[in-house]
Structure 1
Amino acid sequence: MGKEALVVCGEQRKAGITVWDLETGDVLLRILTSGSQPHGLLCLQNRVLVASQLQKDRPFGCGSIFFWHLNKIQAARVSYPMEAIGPIASTRDGVYLVGGAPSGNAYIWEVTSGRLLKKWHAHHKPLCCLTFSHDDSFVVSGAEDGTMCVWLLISLLHTEDPQCGGSVPSLQNWSEHCSSITGFVSVSGGFGPALLSSSLDGRCMVWDLVSGRLLQNHVFSDAITAIAIDPGEQLLFAGREDGKIYVNALDLGLQENQITISEDESGVLFGHEGPITALAFSSGGSFLISASEDCTACLWDVQSWQLIRRFTHEKGHITNLIVIPKSSLLATKENQGLHLQPKFSKLEKTCQLSNAQTGIVTLLSGYNFHEGHPSATYSLSSSLLNKQILDTEHGRTPEMIQVKIGTSIENRLWIFNMTKHINSINQHLQSRVIDMVHHRLVSDDAMIVRRRRGKAKTGDLQENQESPS
């Protein structure tokens, strides 16, 4: 706990973002005029804060996405997507960022270059939750009508369509919840990737992402507004509208049939006077942090269930909270040298044609931490990229790392396109084989018919020869 910091924000821009020392309660940083709806705040690689902001006072519900380095209060980058973005989520390595819109559309960007890789219509109602699976293979989306969809990440990275529009086939489509989705937690599970979902219908459900099976169903008497599980995936924490936090055992072993667990089997934490809006754990799992519309965040000892500290967000209720390493806030040259700042660019409004087909990787401007302005944009061929990697293999410069990222992206696209080409060849070969088999069967049938006719004629001839004249 002594090495971690708590980051919270409210929905109103005037509320701003506040960062506290989790152990002492001291304010470490305040970012003014910034607010996000629930699930609209995250931290890329524990280095860069990202927040989506709806501007309801402007026409057409305009919005923006802000990026901050954790040791500066000025935004390092501001992007203005084609439409307002509510919930956001990122892969663990910070390479991809997804965002959901009130229109039901979803977007996925490549953070380093800012490229919009895909826009698709995910739901008929506004999106309110997004997450990646534990292994980053799937994207899960949830909407206000209670529907949930699972998308294969590889299908979202398909960039042949320059318009990036239209529909994308979902792997799973669930409608068991009958009210707005309020939370997702990705679980590793002993049986494969799983998902924990919560809803205002008062239920928390555990799903197998691959098979689509419902594994567990936790039923409560009041709306569930936030969920979390401990790092050991043994306990489920469900925050309710009445300010209570219910604690249930979470057995993620192999289950043949779904299990329904009632509220009577739960423990309860009392500490808030308003609806719970967010829950999170410290990295070690010893402490739970809860936030509420009562403008406070509470720190709980998981072993004793005691309330250790209360944080007060003076300018409004809290909609989001995350826990980050306190070292991320340090701005010393030594720390900067050990931990390179992630690169990110302005997010595109629309999809652009990829340079991957020409054998060129474009490395777009990364943010220069020291000078506070974008560095130059340049392009390198594949052969030159490989040569520079070999020449700088024993160094650890930002340029070398950026070149490696570029080559990795190009290789990933090449593998994806080659896989599609091979699949196309296989389908063609299968079609040819089927045609050949069909032709062979027809030929065999024709030959059998001819033989039968020949035998019949021979039999008739023999009968005519044997019959007396």
Structure 2
Amino acid sequence: MAAPLEVVISSDSGSQLWNCTVFDLHSGSSLLSYRGGNSAARSLAVLRGEFLLSAQLGKNFINVWEIQRKDQLQQKIVCPGVVTCLTASPDGAFLAAGVAEAVYLWEVCTGKLLAVLSRHYQDVTCLKFTDDSSHFVSAGKDNLALVWNVCSVVQMDLSHSPEPRHVLSRHSLPITDLHCGHMGAQARVATSSLDQTAKVWELSSGELLLSVLFDVEIIQSLNREKSFQSDSEGNQVFKGHRSLVTCLSVSMDGTLLLSGSQDETARLWDVQSRQSVRCLAHKGPVTNAVIMAVSANMFLPDSRPAVPLPRFSRHLQAPEGPDAEGGGAWVRPALHAQEEEESYLQKADRLYSLMHAVSDKALCGDGENSALRVAELEEEVQTLKKVNKDLFEFSSQLLTKPT
């Protein structure tokens, strides 16, 4: 039988023999099982298509498997506290985890802990990167969602604390989950909360675009606030679970919906007919359920990752081991981007071209967003020019220094 293009990967809080399982999307048969512990909710991540990571339920470490070696843990990443959420950047360059009210950000290629962001007032509940890995969003029990620019977070000036690009503060109760759409910095972000609302935001401006209320009377405090109601026949409702739904995912073609529930099942639904087409039984409440594309070596037991995963540091920019060098963290691009790196002048020229391109409304939206984007690009150009000037002066000093 040919290998599937998409699979279901799920975990629950009650299994004793395995942590998470890979199911065939169309037949429902079990294909792989990864052994060792139990995964916490919103803590399952695939790194570079080569490693599967999950935060241990109620513990202070992250389990790591090579994705094709299901029976053997490769390593455990020890954290300073219980990990509440976990995510990896799509380009494979960064790994982020929520620990209490802080967000920890590692550089994958070196294992160095680059930043500890403590801008939330209560526990962080969810983390997501944008599809271009330029931003990530953190949300927590303090009712806030914070938008972070990766470039501003990953910096070597320890005296300067990174600030979020936007603070999304319109929820009145803890945020339970979030989703980032496509188009990078121009994406939409959706958040859900215990205040019985789901809200849609514009990532570039931080503006609230839509608020949807569920199972409550409409309170018209915003002119873009709407209610969610099914019709008399319940045609907008997928009925089948007997308890709370904990996670949702959609197939690439949009025809299948996957839902995980505290009733110890994960269900696949036909979106058009809203009928349950398959029920995947679990041993406990489902904590993670996602439809994902099959990586190249998932079903090749003899394959190995192209680059081994390093040991991850437990301390902020602290050297570990006898051969470690002091100083700041050296940030490297993702593996596929290391072959051709732009010079500072090339980056400045490219950014200058982009500054003129944003005058086209179709590129960045309305005039307000264009002005905001132009201001950001101008600031970036000035920074690159200063760095280039400093490098030139430093090189001149080395060349003219008497021997």
Cα pair distance change 1:16/1:166, threshold 3 Å: farther
Counterpart of 1:196 in structure 2 is 190
2-side partners of 1:88 and 1:418: how far apart? 33
Residues 361 and 407 of structure 1 are in contact (CA less than 8 Å); yes or no, is this contact kept in structure 2?
A: no
Cα pair distance change 1:408/1:54, threshold 3 Å: farther
Counterpart of 1:171 in structure 2 is 165
Question: Normalized against structure 1, the TM-score is what?
Answer: 0.64
2-side partners of 1:213 and 1:196: how far apart? 12
Residues 9 and 319 of structure 1 are in contact (CA less than 8 Å); yes or no, is this contact kept in structure 2?
A: yes
Amino acid at match of 1:114: G
The alpha-carbon deviation at position 291 of structure 1 amounts to 0.4
Out of 303, 308, 312, the residue aligned to residue 347 of structure 1 is 312
Cα pair distance change 1:202/1:44, threshold 3 Å: same
Out of 88, 96, 99, the residue aligned to residue 97 of structure 2 is 99
Does the alignment pair 1:325 with 2:293? yes
Does the alignment pair 1:153 with 2:150? yes
2-side partners of 1:361 and 1:123: how far apart? 27
1-side partners of 2:174 and 2:329: how far apart? 44
Out of 205, 227, 240, the residue aligned to residue 271 of structure 1 is 240
Map 1:293-308 onto structure 2 (within 5 A): 293-308=262-277
Does the alignment pair 1:81 with 2:79? yes
Cα pair distance change 1:328/1:261, threshold 3 Å: farther
The alpha-carbon deviation at position 54 of structure 1 amounts to 4.2
Residues 43 and 84 of structure 2 are in contact (CA less than 8 Å); yes or no, is this contact kept in structure 1?
A: yes
The alpha-carbon deviation at position 126 of structure 1 amounts to 0.3
2-side partners of 1:109 and 1:126: how far apart? 19
Counterpart of 2:32 in structure 1 is 29
Q: 1:35-81 deviations in whole A, cap 9, x for unaligned?
A: 222211111233321111244xxxxxx51011112221211121102
Counterpart of 1:90 in structure 2 is 88
The alpha-carbon deviation at position 424 of structure 1 amounts to 8.3
Cα pair distance change 1:168/1:360, threshold 3 Å: closer
Cα pair distance change 1:190/1:41, threshold 3 Å: closer
Q: Please tell me whether Structure 1 or Structure 2 has the larger radius of gyration of its CA atoms.
A: 1
Q: 1:314-365 deviations in whole A, cap 9, x for unaligned?
A: x2111111223345421155xx49xx545422211112369999999799xx
Which deviates more from structure 2 when the two are superposed, residues 352-361 or residues 29-38?
A: 352-361
Using CA pairs below 8 Å that are at least 6 residues apart, which structure has the higher relative contact order?
2
1-side partners of 2:46 and 2:22: how far apart? 13
Cα pair distance change 1:198/1:361, threshold 3 Å: closer
Output the aligned Cα RMSD.
3.7
Cα pair distance change 1:65/1:359, threshold 3 Å: closer
Does the alignment pair 1:117 with 2:114? yes
Question: Normalized against structure 2, the TM-score is what?
Answer: 0.74
The alpha-carbon deviation at position 148 of structure 1 amounts to 1.2
Cα pair distance change 1:259/1:328, threshold 3 Å: farther
Residues 65 and 78 of structure 1 are in contact (CA less than 8 Å); yes or no, is this contact kept in structure 2?
A: yes
The alpha-carbon deviation at position 12 of structure 1 amounts to 5.2
Cα pair distance change 1:351/1:12, threshold 3 Å: farther
- For these two proteins, the number of residue pairs brought into alignment is 339
Cα pair distance change 1:419/1:87, threshold 3 Å: farther
Counterpart of 2:253 in structure 1 is 284
Residues 218 and 260 of structure 1 are in contact (CA less than 8 Å); yes or no, is this contact kept in structure 2?
A: yes
2-side partners of 1:134 and 1:258: how far apart? 30
Q: 1:168-188 deviations in whole A, cap 9, x for unaligned?
A: 211111221111211111123
Residues 361 and 406 of structure 1 are in contact (CA less than 8 Å); yes or no, is this contact kept in structure 2?
A: no
Counterpart of 1:45 in structure 2 is 48
Q: Which runs of 5+ in 1 are unaligned?
A: 56-61, 223-256, 364-400, 427-469
1-side partners of 2:330 and 2:123: how far apart? 35
Q: 1:362-413 deviations in whole A, cap 9, x for unaligned?
A: 99xxxxxxxxxxxxxxxxxxxxxxxxxxxxxxxxxxxxx96974885998xx
The alpha-carbon deviation at position 189 of structure 1 amounts to 6.7
Residues 70 and 328 of structure 1 are in contact (CA less than 8 Å); yes or no, is this contact kept in structure 2?
A: yes
Amino acid at match of 1:4: E
Q: 1:59-107 deviations in whole A, cap 9, x for unaligned?
A: xxx51011112221211121102333211112111111111111x1111
Amino acid at match of 1:35: N
Residues 13 and 36 of structure 1 are in contact (CA less than 8 Å); yes or no, is this contact kept in structure 2?
A: no
Identity among equivalent positions (%) equals 26
Counterpart of 2:8 in structure 1 is 6
Q: Which runs of 5+ in 2 are unaligned?
A: 217-221, 349-378, 390-403
